[in-house]
């Protein structure tokens, strides 16, 4: 093999998907020697690259290459579904407490910063060959890095699943009562939200969580996204049907407005005690980082460029959906909007509202398995039990679903979930972890000074966000007596 061809092969292995360790080592050894002579420039380049990784980052890849089977379109559906969820219901509330201009600024900023953080994550994955987030943390920072990644991803995904099941617990009983022709005061055991969320979990979510591969959920993810698009269409339609004073809504509803309190003029910049929840809510709505590497690992003919395209499409689509939902929800109810937008549509005679409630319920139900896959794989990675075992697979799935159901029964409000998860795990996953991993990998690479400066600023922004948001959220929670505002 000519030296030039051998060098190109080695560079290709460094730049693309992870290869088997033995193959990679053999290729490197073969290309170093030609006719008994060693190319000193190549050794210098290789040693320079290897020195960037320090003690935790040897040049060999940390994962064996396994070809993906999921198409680009299905990967977009899965990532979009991982991004979108219950956060979409809280964005109108965030807008009502920031104003249109400030909300748009925050939404654009978080979208671009999230895309940048995924870029850093993909670069780190390429450099180390790690396709599992916990392995990536361990490869760069050792055991502490693995534990921090595990804690952040698990908290984020569990918080997201709790918020989804919280919607099921609140919305499904009302829908069933309407279908039965019963009043809201009807209280038989089979319309108890706690019982219904358990039934949904083990009749619908459990079978999907027992699937072996995440790629199979692309079809359910596509249907879930269709349900949320329908929700957006109804929100836009209702803006032109419901008058500002709310008189078109049912008289028994809690949304009857007081004309002295309700202002039908949009505000562009607002600061109040609830403004602090805006950024955590938006951050929570955009976090999908724990699902990025699992989706990347199953992408057919995967490459960093192709996965970045999947990310860009998904984030742009979700940005449009989020902004449209928030602005039309706000322009319908103005400052009377609540942390769960669905609770503002209370008309008992409105079939369209019932349908959209059911659509949102279906959407969040079908989103839970996508996040569940990541939590379960993280647990297996921590226990170093990555080889598939059917009994362990089923047992861990059942235990996790039982724990999640117990938590969702006792969570007081979605606002608590958005606030706590938004200022902790969401901040870690969007800002702190990707930038820290990137800076560690490139700490001795002088050619990437500009990129390192941007990553450092990104890290500083995440730290500043934590220092400002966490005390404010805690203060607001204490001031409200630990009880959440109605949803």
pLDDT in tens, 302-320: 888 999 999 999 999 999 9
CA distance linking residue 172 with residue 187, whole number of Å = 13
The yes-or-no verdict on residue 354 having pLDDT over 90 is: no
Confidence band for 346, pLDDT divided at 50, 70 and 90: low
| Residue 288 CB contacts under 8 Å (≥ 6 apart), including other chains | 79, 82, 83, 114, 314
- Kindly state the tokens that stand for 30: 């073969």
CB atoms within 10 A of CB 425: 26
Q: What integer pLDDT is reported at residue 457 of this predicted model?
A: 93
187 or 226, which is more confident: 226
Q: What integer pLDDT is reported at residue 260 of this predicted model?
A: 40
Q: What integer pLDDT is reported at residue 415 of this predicted model?
A: 60
Q: What integer pLDDT is reported at residue 268 of this predicted model?
A: 85
Domain formed by 70-479, architecture: Up-down Bundle (1.20)
Q: What is the mean pLDDT of residues 448-454?
A: 89
Q: What integer pLDDT is reported at residue 408 of this predicted model?
A: 84
Confidence band for 419, pLDDT divided at 50, 70 and 90: low
175 or 415, which is more confident: 175
Percent pLDDT > 70 in the chain is: 74
81 or 122, which is more confident: 122
Q: What integer pLDDT is reported at residue 241 of this predicted model?
A: 84
Q: What integer pLDDT is reported at residue 353 of this predicted model?
A: 83
The yes-or-no verdict on residue 262 having pLDDT over 90 is: no
14 or 379, which is more confident: 379
- Kindly state the tokens that stand for 357: 């409630």
Q: What integer pLDDT is reported at residue 112 of this predicted model?
A: 92
What is the model's pTM? 0.72
Q: What integer pLDDT is reported at residue 414 of this predicted model?
A: 60
Confidence band for 402, pLDDT divided at 50, 70 and 90: very high
CA distance linking residue 477 with residue 124, whole number of Å = 37
The yes-or-no verdict on residue 266 having pLDDT over 70 is: yes
Closest CA to 369 of 60, 54, 82: 82
Q: What integer pLDDT is reported at residue 127 of this predicted model?
A: 86
Mean pLDDT lowest among 7-11, 151-155, 368-372, 470-474: 7-11
The yes-or-no verdict on residue 96 having pLDDT over 70 is: yes
Q: What integer pLDDT is reported at residue 456 of this predicted model?
A: 92
475 or 155, which is more confident: 155
pLDDT digits (tens, 9 = 90+) for 136-182: 888 888 888 888 888 888 888 888 888 888 888 888 888 888 777 77
Q: What integer pLDDT is reported at residue 105 of this predicted model?
A: 93
| Residue 454 CB contacts under 8 Å (≥ 6 apart), including other chains | 116
Q: What integer pLDDT is reported at residue 19 of this predicted model?
A: 41
Q: How far, in Å, are 24, 46, 307 from residue 301 at the CA level?
A: 19, 26, 10
Q: Residue written as tokens 């502490």?
A: 144
Mean pLDDT lowest among 142-146, 161-165, 259-263, 389-393: 259-263
Q: How far, in Å, are 56, 103, 137, 139, 148 from residue 144 at the CA level?
A: 12, 36, 8, 10, 6
| Residue 315 CB contacts under 8 Å (≥ 6 apart), including other chains | 83, 111, 114, 115, 286
CA distance linking residue 13 with residue 301, whole number of Å = 14
Q: Residue written as tokens 């952040």?
A: 152
pLDDT digits (tens, 9 = 90+) for 321-341: 999 999 998 888 888 887 778
CA distance linking residue 192 with residue 201, whole number of Å = 14
Confidence band for 216, pLDDT divided at 50, 70 and 90: low
Q: What is the mean pLDDT of residues 369-373?
A: 82
């Amino acid at each position: 093999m000519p030296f030039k061809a051998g060098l190109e092969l080695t560079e290709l292995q460094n730049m693309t998907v992870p290869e088997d360790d033995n193959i990679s080592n053999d290729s490197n050894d073969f290309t170093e020697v030609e006719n008994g002579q060693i190319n000193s420039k190549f050794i210098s380049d290789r040693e320079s690259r290897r020195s960037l990784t320090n003690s935790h980052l040897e040049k060999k890849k940390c994962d064996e290459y396994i070809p993906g089977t999921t198409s680009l379109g299905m990967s977009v559906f899965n990532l979009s579904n991982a991004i979108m969820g219950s956060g979409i219901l809280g964005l109108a509330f965030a807008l009502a407490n920031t104003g249109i201009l400030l909300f748009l600024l925050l939404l654009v900023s978080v979208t671009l910063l999230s895309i940048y953080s995924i870029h850093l994550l993909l670069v780190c994955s390429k450099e180390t060959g790690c396709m599992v987030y916990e392995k990536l943390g361990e490869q760069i920072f050792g055991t502490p890095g693995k534990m921090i990644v595990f804690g952040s991803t698990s908290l984020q995904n569990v918080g997201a699943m709790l918020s989804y099941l919280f919607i099921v617990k609140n919305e499904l009983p009302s829908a069933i009562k309407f279908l039965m022709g019963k009043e809201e005061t009807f209280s038989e055991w089979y319309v108890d939200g706690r019982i219904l969320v358990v039934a949904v979990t083990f009749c619908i979510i459990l079978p999907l969580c027992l699937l072996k591969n995440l790629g199979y959920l692309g079809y359910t993810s596509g249907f879930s996204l269709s349900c949320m698009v329908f929700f957006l269409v109804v929100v836009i339609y209702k803006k032109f049907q419901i008058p500002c004073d709310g008189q078109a809504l049912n008289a028994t509803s809690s949304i009857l407005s007081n004309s002295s309190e309700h202002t039908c003029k949009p505000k562009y910049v607002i600061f109040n005690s609830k403004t602090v929840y805006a950024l955590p809510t938006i951050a929570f709505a955009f976090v999908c980082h724990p699902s990025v590497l699992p989706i990347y690992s199953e992408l057919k003919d995967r490459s960093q460029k192709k996965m970045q395209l999947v990310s860009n499409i998904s984030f742009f689509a979700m940005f449009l959906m989020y902004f449209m939902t928030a602005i039309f929800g706000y322009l319908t109810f103005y400052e009377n909007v609540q942390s769960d937008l669905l609770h503002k549509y209370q008309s008992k005679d409105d079939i369209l509202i019932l349908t959209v409630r059911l659509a949102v319920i279906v959407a969040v139900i079908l989103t839970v398995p996508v996040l569940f896959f990541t939590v379960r794989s993280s647990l297996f990675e921590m226990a170093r039990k990555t080889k598939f075992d059917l009994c362990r697979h089923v047992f861990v799935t059942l235990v996790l679903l039982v724990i999640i159901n117990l938590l969702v029964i006792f969570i007081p409000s979605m606002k608590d979930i958005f606030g706590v998860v938004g200022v902790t795990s969401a901040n870690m996953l969007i800002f702190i972890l990707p930038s820290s991993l990137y800076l560690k990998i490139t700490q001795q690479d002088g050619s990437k000074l500009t990129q390192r400066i941007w990553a450092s600023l990104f890290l500083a922004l995440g730290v500043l966000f934590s220092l400002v948001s966490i005390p404010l959220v805690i203060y607001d929670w204490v001031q409200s007596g630990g009880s959440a505002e109605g949803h």
